[in-house]
Amino acid sequence: MANVVVVGAQWGDEGKGKIVDWLSERAEVIVRFQGGHNAGHTLVIDGQTYKLSLLPSGIVRPGRLSVIGNGVVLDPWALIDEIDRLRAQGVAVGPDNLVIAENVPLILPVHGELDRAREAANVTARIGTTGRGIGPAYEDKVGRRAIRLADLADPATLETRLDRLLTHHDALRRGLGLAPVDRAALKAALEAVAPRVLPFAGPVWKILAERRRAGARILFEGAQGALLDIDFGTYPYVTSSNTMAGMAATGSGVGPGAIGFVLGIVKAYTTRVGEGPFPTELTDAVGIRLGERGREFGTVTGRKRRCGWFDAALVRQTCTTGGVTGIALTKLDVLDGLERLRICTGYRLDGREIDHLPVASALQARVDPIYEEVEGWQESTAGARSWAELPAAAVKYVRRIEELVGCPVALVSTSPEREDTILVRDPFAD
């Protein structure tokens, strides 16, 4: 049985939450391996809606172990709020079904303040961050001045870490016109939250190794999408971590040999939140229709998502850089009723055709999509659970995406509900 990594293969918001939840029925362990509470998953299970930001999607399934790996940056206060919210909905969350890596770096209030101050000051070229401190927290991690979860259990270490952290942050804050950090208040806040989060701390790398030896199937859950990857995304309009499948190994403490099947999640069209290039963006009635039918608002921020046609050139690129084995196509039902559909197959740049999005921002801004037009369908695909229930034109659309992307479709999702899924190839069977 293969361990499976689930990653977004567009700009995030592809519907990973539902797919991870659906796959978690076949897994014993679900691991979140990067990102922070800037990511969001919405699960709809038997009419009940669950909104998750930090917790792995498997947390709503009894009998599963959910894990937050060291590649995540963790806001302990956001975590406690999310746990309390889920408990109020009847979901059991405790140290028996949730483990957090002891070496996970923490997001502190100073990170959010710095994030928002920078974005406000950067009036000429905003990145479009969520302002939740994810970027500054990752900066402190690589700058070797982060406070990690294990530090909360050691008062002497915490004092040292605070000294090093605030020496850096107070200098930054002076440059932005902010007051120095209230060290005593920050320390008190950390001491207050420590008893609530430390019971979840554990050696994730060791626990996962033991589960692997016992034959457990592990599902690794990414956040955001490949086009927001710090290296391969549309830089600088990206997140602050690697969002590719390879991060599952380093972000949880398992070796690369633990990764079997890589499932790339893609919408049947394209969306992105915030700033940055978007070659197939639609600002006309069709774009508005996609946004309305797809309920395209961010789970975390509530921001309206930009919508456009499916970009096969971009997904082909992310499937290559991400090592995607198969794709899960979501929100096929949003395209119901459109007479004609377009698929981007490549770009024109300064009079010549290219088959990938260039790295340079100036070139990205100048590309024009090359479209192939295909037949739409008038019948409903909502709730379909087999190929036989799909209109012929919808099947052709899926098959054409496979051809253009160069990667087989493993799953098709036809509504937010857990069971409205067409299984073509079981990732865990490989």
Tens digits of pLDDT across the chain (430 residues): 589 999 999 998 898 888 888 898 889 999 999 999 977 777 777 778 888 889 998 898 899 999 999 999 999 999 999 999 999 999 999 999 999 999 999 999 999 999 888 888 776 666 667 778 999 999 999 999 999 999 999 999 999 999 999 999 999 999 999 999 999 999 999 999 999 999 999 999 999 999 999 999 999 999 889 999 999 999 999 999 999 999 999 999 998 989 999 999 999 999 998 889 999 999 999 999 999 998 887 655 667 899 999 999 999 999 999 999 999 999 999 999 999 999 999 999 999 999 999 999 999 999 999 999 999 999 999 999 999 999 999 999 999 999 999 999 999 999 888 889 999 998 988 6
* Residue-level pLDDT at 286: 94
- Among 219, 234, 218, 222, CA closest to 13: 222
Distance CA 176, CA 374 (A): 52
H or E element in which residue 311 lies? strand 310-311
Please give the sequence-ordered ranges of beta strands (E in DSSP) within 13-108, or none if there are none: 29-32, 41-45, 48-52, 65-68, 98-101
Distance CA 382, CA 416 (A): 9
Task: Kindly give the pairing relationship between strand 65-68 and strand 41-45.
Answer: unpaired
Cα dihedral sign, 312-321-423-305: negative
Distance CA 28, CA 64 (A): 5
Distance CA 170, CA 387 (A): 59
Rounded to two decimals, the pTM is: 0.91
Task: Kindly give the pairing relationship between strand 306-308 and strand 310-311.
Answer: unpaired
Q: How far, in Å, are 36, 40, 128, 332 from residue 221 at the CA level?
A: 12, 12, 24, 22
* Residue-level pLDDT at 267: 96
Which residues are catalytically annotated?
13, 41
Question: What's the chain's Rg over C-alpha atoms?
Answer: 22
Helices in 268-386 by DSSP H: which ranges? 285-293, 312-321, 361-364
* Residue-level pLDDT at 124: 61
* Residue-level pLDDT at 362: 93
Q: 263 with 14: CB under 8 angstroms?
A: no
* Residue-level pLDDT at 126: 62
Distance CA 37, CA 54 (A): 5
Distance CA 76, CA 92 (A): 18
Distance CA 235, CA 157 (A): 36
Distance CA 234, CA 127 (A): 11
Class of residue 123 by CB neighbours under 10 A (exposed 0-12, middle 13-18, buried 19+): exposed
* Residue-level pLDDT at 29: 96
- State both tokens at 394: 């919808």
Q: 395 with 378: CB under 8 angstroms?
A: no
Q: Which residues share a beta bridge with 413?
A: 421
